[in-house]
Structure formats: C-alpha cells, structure tokens
Amino acid sequence: MKKIIATALSMTMAMSLAACGGGAASSAAPAASSAPAASQASAPAASDGVITVGFAQVGHESDWRTASTKSAQDVFSAANGYDLKFVDCDNDSAAQLEAVRNFIEQDVDYIIIDPIVSTGWDTVLTECEDAGIPVIVIDRTIDDSDKYVSWVGSDFKIEGLACGEWLKAYAADKGMSEINALVIEGSTGASATIGRTDGFKEIADREGWNIMASQSGDFTEAGGQEVMESYCQSYKGKFNVVICQNDNEAAGAMTAMDNAGITYGVGGDVVLVSFDANKPYVQMVCDGKINANFECNPMAAPTVSEIIQDLEAGKTPEKEIYVPEHWFAAEDNVPSIDVNGETLEVIHATQDVVDARPY
C-alpha cells in the first residue's frame, strides 16, 4: 500500500518541482498563497484511527521555539486523535537527519520537519518518499529539494525588508542623518537568518546605510549578549541602531548594553529592533525598551493538522502556506510601510495590543 502511495507522491512532486522551480519561500507578502502540492497523494490510513506524526523540531533555543513546540503538542494530542513522536534536535543538523530516519523506521504516518538549515535534504526526503511517508515542512524552508507535500511558515525576506522600510521611515521622522547599524544574526544556514539578513541588507544598500558588523548570536540570549558585548567593546559611541534577529538575542543585547552604559529604545542612544514578537517582548515594545518588533508566527501546527486531514480525505493541500504576521512599534510615528509594492500596517504597541497577543 505504501509503495503505491510512494509512487504517486514521487510523480506528483516531480511535476510540482517542474512547475514551481523549487520550494523556497517566495517574495510574496505574508498571506496564504500557493501552488498545488502532491495532487494524488493520499495519506496512509491509520488502521486504529490514530494518526502517528513524527516531528523533528529544531531545538529549544528561544521563546519562539517554545511556543512552536507547545502549539504542536497541543494540536497533535491524543485527544485530537494523534500520536506525536517529538524529537528536540538541539540545533544539530546530523541529529535532525537521524530523527527523520528513525521516524521512517518507526513507519509513522506523517513526518513534520522544521529544518535547522535549508540545504542537505534531498537524500533523506527521497527516503521518506520511497517509504510512502508524506513530509510537511514548517517554519524554515528547504531550498534544495521539493520532495515534501507542503510548507507552512514565514516569509523571512519580507520580515527583513519590513524592518528596513520601518527604520527608513522612523529615521526620517526623527531626523537621524546617518544609520550606523550592528546586526546580530540568527543561526548560520537557517533560512530565517538568510531571509532577514538579505531583506535588511537590501534596504541598507539602497539607502547607503553603514552595517558596521553582522555576526551570529545563534538565536539565543547568551549568544546575543556575547556578540553585543564584543560590539560594545569595538564600537561604543559609533553605532545608533542594533538589529537583533530574534527576541532572545535582543534580551542578551539589552543586558550587554546595560552593562556598557549604553541606552536604547525610545529616547535612548540606540534604536533597538527585534524579530519574533513574543508577548513579553511586545510588552517591551509597549514599555519603550524595544523600538520595533517584526513578528514571526510560531503557530503552524493547526494548519499542519488541516493539511493532514485534507490528505486523509484524499484532498490536495497547498504547496506553500504563509502564516499571517504583524509589525509592532513603540511609537505611532510610522503607521504603515510599503514593502514590495504592498502597504503594510505598523501596529502601535499599546497595552491592549500586548494583552491580546496569543503567545
């Protein structure tokens, strides 16, 4: 039975690869989009009615990741008819490949992968295909293989572009004559890092800004603090913008700047920007400690469950599904920005906005 499904998956994914030219996130604005996925791919029927799902999660490096894991555990619960086999890969790519191969050995019904890095996937995805196990990719993209049914996640390049466009408008309003920016990147090789870095750099290059340094803080608080400490030693008094590619790095950067006597946020020496928009950090935007925060939505699991139910019903899921995302700012001086020809709202982070945050 699984071999027949594997053949159908193989044929339809090859067709989809030819039609889409690869599985990377497009530059479309964050909204549901897409091309048809494995059109004849019916999912393996679970004989006992329970659907077994293997989830190879990146790790536990950030508050965002905790929210992503909780979302999956809530959705793929026994009460919802699932048996979730969860593996925390601790940011180790080899461990993640091994986790996927173990899921194949266990003959799970579906495999969910949040890829630590965007390349090196085709061999193991071929193994999944040969075993007839549909793969759903979430959050970060796989850029060197199209052998998965669907991807659900964020447009990281748009996040980076939005950050740059917001900074341009903010700087103009505040009369900042030059931008000297320090960037704390996420984990090397992650599509979240690549997209945010490329998007921000595109605007920086266009506007002639000075990116003084751009180093990885590995999406962790400790990494953000370490990189910021070294930036403070090398560049104190010379920078006026710090871009942290996630909230935990921003927490570390704040500690380092506090220790170095550098002020940040509304009225500070330095404009501080973050990504993710976890609730405690939108609170920091509301409190004026972080100037702006660009959301990365971790709640992919409900959509993945819909995809699985569609496959169970013999329907064709979308190949790419973008989760909705919002931008938050401490002040109301930039109400909207134009990104790739689309006008996007910048939400003034009032206490009501914070209180309504779902994670």
Residue 93 backbone dihedrals phi, psi, to 5 degrees: -60, -40
Contact flags string 128-157 toward ligand AHR, x per CB under 6 A = -----------xx-----------------
Q: Which stretch binds ligand AHR (CB under 6 A): 58-66, 125-133, 143-151, 261-269?
A: 58-66
3-state SS assignment for residue 238 = coil
CA distance 262 to 170: 20
3-state SS assignment for residue 250 = helix
Give the shortest CB-167-to-ligand AHR separation in angstroms. 18
Q: Which stretch binds ligand AHR (CB under 6 A): 14-22, 60-68, 170-178, 206-214?
A: 60-68
Give the shortest CB-240-to-ligand AHR separation in angstroms. 24
Q: In what order do the strands lie in the sheet with 135-139?
A: 82-88, 51-57, 110-113, 135-139, 150-153, 320-322
Residue given tokens 């609730």 in the structure block? 279
Question: Footprint of ligand AHR on residues 327-356 (CB under 6 A)?
Answer: none
Strands 51-57 and 271-276: unpaired
| Amino acid identity, position 33 | S
Contact flags string 63-102 toward ligand AHR, x per CB under 6 A = -xx-------------------------------------
Question: Footprint of ligand AHR on residues 196-225 (CB under 6 A)?
Answer: 219
CA distance 60 to 150: 24
Contact flags string 288-307 toward ligand AHR, x per CB under 6 A = --------x-----------
Closer CB to ligand AHR, 61 or 226, in the complex: 61
Query: In angstroms, how far is CA 93 from the centroid of its own chain?
Result: 17
Contact pick of 62, 141, 150, 303 for ligand AHR (by CB under 6 A): 62
Interface ranges with ligand AHR (CB under 6 A): 61-62, 64-65, 139-140, 190, 192, 219, 246, 275-276, 296
